Every structure is written in C-alpha cells, then in structure tokens.
Structure 1
Amino acid sequence: MSIVLALPKGRILKDAGPLLARAGIFPEADYADESSRRMRFPTNHPELDVIRVRSFDVATFVAFGAAQIGICGSDVLMEFDYPEVYAPLDLGIGQCRISVAEPKDDAGQTDFTRASRIRVASKYPNMAKKHFAAKGIQAEIVALNGAMELAPGLGLSRLIVDLVQTGSTLKANGLVETDVIAQVSSRLIVNRIALKTRPDEIGAWIEAFRKALSA
C-alpha cells in the first residue's frame, strides 16, 4: 500500500518544491500546475504518491489516515488541534503570522480592559475565540474564508484575525496590525497510527526531510 504525502495548494506548494527535491522526491511535473485537474500524482518512488489539496484540508487528510504524511501550516494545526497528528519537523517555509487587525483610523481606541464582547471576522474561529477569551472578552466570530479585509469597512466586524505575511494587503485596505497571536511556519506532519504501524517507512521519510533541512 502506497504512502500518501498531502501537499497544500498555493504559496506553500511552490516553497516546498526545492525541499521535496532535496528529500529526493520528484512528483510528476504537473503536480505544481494548479490548472491541472489531477489531484493525485505518482513520484519517482513507486511506494509514494503525492496529493494536492486545500491548505486547510491537509491536516484533515492526515488526521483521518487518508494521507500518512503531509506538509501543513502551523496555523492549521493550531486551529484544528487534531490529536491524531504528530508534527516532528518545522520545515522553515511558509513563514508568516496570525494577527489581529483593525481600521487604521480606529487603531488603539478599543479599550480591551472594558470591552466584554466584540465581533471578529476570521477563518480561525477557535484561535480567535481563545485569544480574546484570554483577555476576558467574548468574541462573536463572523466566519469568512476570504476577503477578510473588507469586513471592518463594510460594518461586518470591528476586527479581523487573519494570516499576514508582508502587511501590504492590510495597508491597501486601510487596516493595521494591532496584535500578533502566533508566528506561523510549515511543518512536516504524520498520522500517529501510521507511524506506529509502519514505523520503518514513515520514519525513513521523516529522516529524508530532516536531512533535506540540513542540506
């Protein structure tokens, strides 16, 4: 039975390319072509296939055993907190942060010591709730999967919680970061049961990635 490596679409897929090569993994060329309708790709290793899925779905595929290993942002791991997933390596790619942002003109005017409830737009409902709960604030989450930066200007929410890399998108939409919840990078993740039942195979791939990081 093949080992399945789950990779996220988008920016991390491009960042992961050189790392895969250093680990000796060469999927069929169209794995990196996001216009390709294929989702599963053989590699130069007959026992290893690659699948390409949404970044938020990588952890789910691994947690439920549909993929045995994967590359996943630590933001996804923090949001879902699957006990079935083990993350042995920080791959040092896809670096960004999860931040709170608000309109530039309102920045610094919210007294969080006196606020008891606030509306926040985010695709990270669990992380956002935990962050504000630690401040004694009940966060009403407006779940959005994109276009988060529009929410404050259109009255949908007071704040947003989102991934930030350069901050240019926030700036272009009149927002500023006011708090950093967590630093984010991509991790190698494995299914814990697969690691127990196929230790030699999974362990060999963990070691291949470990060597790729030091190459």
Structure 2
Amino acid sequence: MKKVLVLLAKGFEEIEAVTVIDILRRAHVKVHICSIDKEFVEGSHGITIKSDVRLEYIDINKDIYDLIYLPGGMPGAANLRDDARVIGLLKKYDKDNVLLSAICAAPIVLSEAGLLKDKEATSFPGFKDIIDCNRYLEEVTVSSGNVITSRGPATAMELGYKLLEKLGLGAEAHDLREDMLYNFLLEKKGKA
C-alpha cells in the first residue's frame, strides 16, 4: 500500500488539502495528515481538520513515505516554509527520491528548501516571481523529476489524479475521473 504524508500548518487552503486527501484515500492510499503544530489545524477559511500525527512524531530515518504533499493557502504555506523541521524533512525525502508535491503558494516551501533550482514548476500566479526554479510554466500541473506542482484550488482534483498516476495507480486515477464525474465536467465544458 502506498503511503502519503500531507503537511498542514495553520492557514492552509482547505480545498487543496481535502480534495487531494479524498482522492488519494478513495484509491486506498494510506494518507497521514500531519500537523506541524497542534492536533487540530485551522485552515485559511475557518475549517478545522484533525491531524493523524504531529510532525514531532515523524522519524525521517524510519518512516517511509512514497509522497510528501504540501497544500497551499496563506499563511499556511509561509508557516510551512518558516519551519526548519519541514525544510529538513523535505531535503531528506528529496535525497531519498521520494515524490514531493506542492500546490498554489506551497511551492515557496520547496523553493526555500532549494529543491526547485534544477526543476520546472508552477504555482499560484502571485508566487511566480518568488519561487526559485529552473523554468516556470503556466500549466495545470508540472512534473519535473520527483517534484509535482500545481496552480491552486481549481486544479486540486487534477493534481490528485496526477499524484495517483505518479504513485503507479493510473488505473485507479482513470476510474476515479469517471466515478467522480470529472471527465463529464471536462466534456461539458468543452462543449460550452
């Protein structure tokens, strides 16, 4: 079973967190919602989520994950960026070639860790000039090496499916696109 660690800090973007967590769990991925602080984490729009684990209990030398995911939102992304433990965790898992993903404002965290310098990336448009990457692309999702980035709340579903594909669960991603009416939405939008 694939394992994913989702890092949450106060002020995270709820849509970006819950959408991706939900899609991953529908595909039977084991997702650990990890707070960098307290057990309950309040999002940027006042929705509180209970974490499964707190960052202080993660042992980066023993706990094995297939993917580390960072939802955006402000000040959530800044809180992740400014936490030395988060930066150390990302550097360690990057060294182990674990998949890393960030959406919206959260690529600033990967940038702070120096993990985008040789990568292509995207982000919420307002962070384009803040992240230090090799090449910035204005795409829904951007995969570069072990890093997958995305634009913002509206792109969270597509990112969730893309992460399943990157985890080797392409059939599950395909089925969920159908079951969740995502393909139907795209078809109708294309006819509009």
Q: TM-score, normalised by structure 2?
A: 0.34
Highest RCO, 1 vs 2 (Cα 8 Å, sep ≥ 6): 1
**Structure number with larger C-alpha Rg:** 1
Higher helix share: 2
Higher strand share: 1
Q: TM-score, normalised by structure 1?
A: 0.32
